Amino acid sequence: MKLVVLSAAVTGTLAGSADTACGAFTRFAAPGFEECASEDCSKIRISCPVGYTPSFENSLKCKGESWKGIGADEIITCDMDYKPCDYDKLASTSDDVVTNCDGNRCDFSCSDGSEVSVSSVKCDTQFGNWKYAGTDSKPGKIRCAGIPKPKKPTKAPKTSDCAPFDNYDADSVEKIDCDDKRCTFQCKDGFHSITSANAKCKSAGYWKLSDGAQRVTCFGEGSSWMNGWDSQVMDAPFKCDPDDLRRVDLKNCQDLEDGAITNCEVLCRGVKIDEVRCINHRPVWSNEYFDC
């Protein structure tokens, strides 16, 4: 609805709500002001200056010699807008400036105690704008006076000081490629489920294995099964589905109670972490989830 502001100087007759049958509408507080929403001002609204929002934003109608739209005891007020400031829009700072923000204020200081170009900034929450101390506009980069920007230290070239890699089971693991920086491995024939397929020399002088393994090793087909184990290839001493176990291996499975139960060791990356049983007549595992 387009608002029409009328005055006696313009129309020669109506000046606002005072010239209606309902009389002047007075139930609003400063800095609110009345605006006509119809040519005869029988419909009005109470508006507020920029930065404020009226507590009642609908129209008021003159009907039956009284104003309709709000309660008889209600007063329309202008409430100050609250607009938070965007921290991403703060002025940039040099490396030696320390910024400490708390709510709607930030203070700037120099790490060496010298004078900073701008000491603080406050958020004008009525308009959502940052107001910087000592300036009427957003400054350039905030700096420490007279302190040259320190040069970034040059990084020393990385060196490799690892000893030759020997942390693997030579009986089950074959080295594919290995130098003083990186080694890769695979299982020998008759073995599977490698604990780590590669190792990398770290700058601190030690080898780090992938998958969090402590040692590179593989397992024989008769003593360990992965969750990708194929029942058509290997004869398992249990009837439960090894695919139900997640991210762990099985080892040293033994029949109990004449085959009714099979007990297995649970391995995580080659290290025993638990035991699990298969109740063969159901068949279900006693537990399917392990922290590996």
Share of the chain above pLDDT 90, in %: 33
Whether this prediction's pTM lies above 0.85 is answered by: no
pLDDT digits (tens, 9 = 90+) for 196-224: 888 999 888 888 887 667 788 877 665 54
pLDDT digits (tens, 9 = 90+) for 73-126: 899 999 888 888 888 899 999 999 999 988 889 999 998 889 999 999 999 888
How high does pLDDT run on average in the chain? Answer: 82
Share of the chain above pLDDT 70, in %: 82
User: If you average pLDDT over each of 109-123, 132-146, 267-281, which comes out highest?
Assistant: 109-123
- The number of C-alpha atoms within 13 Å of 49 and in the hemisphere containing its C-beta is 6
Q: What is the pLDDT of residue 238?
A: 85
Name residue 238's amino acid: F
List, in order of start, the domains of the chain with CATH numbers.
8-80 (2.10.70.10), 82-149 (2.10.70), 173-219 (no CATH), 221-285 (no CATH)
Q: What is the pLDDT of residue 30?
A: 92
- Segment 240-250 shows an average pLDDT of 78
d(CA 173, CA 43): 90
**How far does CA 32 lie from the centroid of its chain?**
42
